[in-house]
Amino acid sequence: PRLWLIVPAAGIGQRMQAEQPKQYLRIGQRFILDITLSRLMDSAPFSGCMVPLHPADHWWPDTEASGDSRIQTCTGGAERAESVLSALHALAEQIRDDDWVLVHDAARPCLHTRDLSNLIDQLYHHPVGGLLASPVADTLKRAGTGDLPEVLETVDRKNLWRALTPQMFRYRILVDSLEAALAGELLVTDESSAVEFSGNMPVLVEGRPDNIKITVPADLALAGFILSRF
């Protein structure tokens, strides 16, 4: 099977409180999206890469990636799952059912090459696929709502993991799972949750906890620091 890459970049990054979506913020001189894409494309033999963009995106032409003939773009959707599905549909002509699709957040520039190759090596012969994940380090509380929510219980963190990306699935399983999840209006915040809903069991490959998703302003400085130590 061949390897394909999807990097959803159609989000508007509401939680960053910035002018532009977070994937178009810069660390040093470069767009986060360019750091992410070059790291991935230089580290594994992808047959192609699809980047879903927001319909009103006008930053893409300014990226380094826009000059890379291996990378194509398509129009994303209102939800992350719709963006990924639109990219999968855009690949339909070239891809085979048992080919691998890796989906990686544009906003995760701190992926280590070793984690990427480890994910691919560990899953390459698996029938379904899986994802990078990191064991939960903090004590977890379930709480009510409001400004000062009351603790309802402490959740046992044994066997609890943070889902990271890349997430790597067989093409047919991923398309069918996402279509079913969207049709059923299920809550899908990552590819794995859709695959789980379809009755398949993804596996976890332990990855580095510093593969952070840039979400709030403080994450930007943290990502810059992590990248400076690569």
Residue ranges binding ligand C5P (CB under 6 A)? 8-11, 23, 52, 76-80, 83, 105-107, 213, 215
DSSP state of 133: E
**Closest approach of Cβ 205 to ligand C5P, in Å?**
20
**Rounded Cα distance, 194 and 200, in Å:** 9
* Closer residue to ligand C5P in complex, CB, 106/175: 106
* Closer residue to ligand C5P in complex, CB, 172/213: 213
Contact (Cβ atoms closer than 8 angstroms) between residue 157 and residue 141? no
- Burial of 30 (C-beta count, 10 Å sphere; 0-12/13-18/19+): middle
* Closer residue to ligand C5P in complex, CB, 1/222: 222
**Closest approach of Cβ 16 to ligand C5P, in Å?**
9
Residue 87 is encoded by which pair of tokens? 């990219």
**Closest approach of Cβ 189 to ligand C5P, in Å?**
7
**Closest approach of Cβ 79 to ligand C5P, in Å?**
5
* Closer residue to ligand C5P in complex, CB, 66/215: 215
* Closer residue to ligand C5P in complex, CB, 8/129: 8
Tally the C-alpha atoms within 13 A of residue 84's C-alpha that lie toward its C-beta: 32
- Cα dihedral 113/222/11/19 (nearest 10): -140
Contact (Cβ atoms closer than 8 angstroms) between residue 142 and residue 153? yes
**Rounded Cα distance, 230 and 225, in Å:** 9
**Closest approach of Cβ 154 to ligand C5P, in Å?**
26
